[in-house]
Amino acid sequence: MMSSNLESASSERLKALFAKAGKSRWLGVGIGALGTAAIQSSGATTVMVIGFVNVGIMSLVQAATIIYGANIGTTITAQIVALGLSSGNGLSTTAIFAAFAGLGAFISLFAKHDLGKKIGGILAGFGMLFVGLSMMSGAMEDFAELDAVKIFLASISNPLLLVLIGAILTAIIQSSSVMTSVAITMVMTGLISLNQGIYLTLGSNIGSCVVAIIAGITSGLNAKRTALIHLLFNCFGVVVFMLAAGGMALFSSSELNFGTLFEQLFPGVPQLQMAMFHTIFNVTTVIIIMPLTDGLVRLVCKLLPEPIVAESLSKKPHFFFVDEKMLRTPVVAVRQVKLEIEHMAQLAMRNYDRSLHMATRLDFDEENDFIQDEQELDFLNHELVQYIVRLNGQSLPEPDHFYLTHAIRSVSDLERIGDYAENITEYAHLLKDAKEHFSEAAIAEIDQMRELVFLVYQHTMKAYMNNDRDAYWTAHEYEDQVDDLNDQMEQNHIQRLAKGQCSALVGAQYIELASNSERISDHLINVGKTIGGLYPKS
């Protein structure tokens, strides 16, 4: 509950943070740590990163540094757990946090605004976390007194077996934070030794990769590479510390191991010993791996090379900017929907330009490219609308809900532009089959129409992407000129027809082409209306 509400409440800030990740590698580590500490879930951070890599927002090196930071950020959970189990003889922290849970539940129930409900959810989840820890600790104290339990746990002393158990349990519950919290509680209550807890924690680092693997397995190649970077990085850290443990056992005259070492460093507080090991382990691993990042990325690219894909398969319609994984961060996904719609507009206008070229020059060299882009437009019209509907069902600020409602209309408008371009190509084929063509005067007017429609497009998209009302009204002025030119083209055609300068077939296709161009500018203006609430809310 705490993680989900923190993630939802801070997703706008996470978007701004991730946008800065490319400035430096250490900044990427810091952003990963801060973002994960904010939402209390390294798995959520990693899944977000995989989504960004999958749609090309982030490079593999940037993704690697943020994953490094996520491993540091997730250690905050262990420190919080250690704090929660250190109530001492004064006022019980459990009682304090039980009050937090009650207050949070009250706020969440009665808050009128979405942000208030999220804050209530954060407080309730935070309080329930410590109440649950107290209950688990109390139950484990009795459990630890059973002879059968002591004998069984004492028999599991092999470090590799403990690492394996930690990895398997974490993979099952899909949360290294939960596994580490359980291990800390078991150590504090004497159910297992500190050294056993340390090896379980090492295993949990490997098991936590299952979340990234599940996210990457159904995504693109670079997403799979990101998941593999996460797995190799975590395994690297475990191997380094296992070798260090082996070295201590081999070259130390006393019974020196990580358990005895941290008992000496933080005497009398086993929960803090575990939490500090978890933090030092992850920070040390990041320091060691940072200079090796480029080599790690090259290794992953060799292990998962670019496949040899048939050209027909590589051109299969697909999303360019949105991704299913981004539904976990709705505010980020809204921005990506906007980029996807901008890309859709580019496709539609590129096909409009091709259609005019075919109609005026009777040159069909780019017809296959036209067909491919038209298929992409049809795909986006169907699939992007479904994606927007799912996204609009998420918890979002009211302006984003309003935008998404009208984004569906924008998708439909852009698909109609593609249909009008398709109509113009049909006129081109009719002219070619009839061995007819437009006159030079008609072609000059069509070129003028093209120039005006593209001015409408350029200013509309400037308005759409930047919420620029001035650009929208400039686009509207050019759209008025398109209307005037359409009327003028019809009058000019009638004059040419009367003088016998063109045939009835050519004239009919000319009028339809001008009319289709005018309708395209209308649809572009509709797209621009989505900015700043230009559509009425009804």
Q: What is the pLDDT of residue 537?
A: 41
* 335 in Cβ contact with 396 (< 8 Å): no
Give the span between the Cα atoms of 323 and 319, in whole angstroms.
7
pLDDT tens-place string over residues 288-304: 999 999 999 999 999 98
**Which residue type sits at 377?**
L
- When mean pLDDT is compared across 6-20, 435-449, 470-484, the lowest value belongs to 6-20
* Helices first, then strands: H and E counts in the chain: 23, 0
Burial of 88-127, coded b for 16+ CB within 10 Å and e otherwise, reads eeeeebbeebbebbeebbebbeeeeeeeebbbbbbbbbbb
- Chain-centre distance of CA 435, in angstroms? 52
Give the span between the Cα atoms of 284 and 240, in whole angstroms.
10
Would you place residue 90 in the very low, low, confident or very high pLDDT band (cuts 50, 70, 90)?
A: very low
Q: Domain segments of the chain: what residues?
A: 2-303, 324-533
Percentage of residues of the chain with pLDDT beyond 70: 84
Structure tokens at 45: 């951070």
- When mean pLDDT is compared across 273-282, 318-327, 450-459, 475-484, the lowest value belongs to 318-327
44 has a pLDDT exceeding 50: yes
Would you place residue 311 in the very low, low, confident or very high pLDDT band (cuts 50, 70, 90)?
A: very low
* 1 in Cβ contact with 39 (< 8 Å): no
Q: What is the pLDDT of residue 89?
A: 43
Give the span between the Cα atoms of 398 and 400, in whole angstroms.
5
- DSSP at 306: P
Higher pLDDT, residue 412 or 504:
412
Q: Look at phi and psi of residue 397 and say left if phi exceeds 0, alpha if psi is from -120 to 50, else beta.
A: beta
Q: What is the pLDDT of residue 508?
A: 84
- Chain-centre distance of CA 343, in angstroms? 18
Q: What is the pLDDT of residue 10?
A: 56
List alpha helices for 267-366, DSSP H.
Answer: 270-289, 293-303, 311-314, 330-361
> Which of 324, 514, 509 is CA-nearest to residue 426?
509
- What is residue 134's three-state secondary structure? helix
Give the span between the Cα atoms of 333 and 319, in whole angstroms.
13
Q: Any idea which residue has 């397995």 for tokens?
A: 217
- When mean pLDDT is compared across 191-200, 337-346, 471-480, the lowest value belongs to 191-200
Structure tokens at 325: 């994984």
Give the span between the Cα atoms of 425 and 138, in whole angstroms.
76
CATH number of 324-533: 1.20.58
Would you place residue 538 in the very low, low, confident or very high pLDDT band (cuts 50, 70, 90)?
A: very low
pLDDT tens-place string over residues 158-208: 889 999 988 988 888 767 777 888 888 888 878 888 888 899 999 988 988
378 has a pLDDT exceeding 70: yes
pLDDT tens-place string over residues 120-169: 887 888 778 667 766 765 676 666 566 776 677 667 878 899 999 889 88
Q: DSSP readout, 204-249?
A: HHHHTHHHHHHHHHTS-HHHHHHHHHHHHHHHHHHHHHHHHHHHHH
Q: 68 Cβ partners below 8 Å, 6+ apart?
A: 28, 29, 32, 233, 286, 289, 290
Q: What is the pLDDT of residue 135?
A: 72
Q: What is the mean pLDDT of the chain?
A: 83
Q: 387 Cβ partners below 8 Å, 6+ apart?
A: 319, 322, 337
pLDDT tens-place string over residues 481-507: 999 999 999 888 788 777 776 777 788
- When mean pLDDT is compared across 34-43, 388-397, 419-428, the lowest value belongs to 34-43
Q: 94 Cβ partners below 8 Å, 6+ apart?
A: 84, 87, 130, 131, 133, 134
* 122 in Cβ contact with 6 (< 8 Å): yes
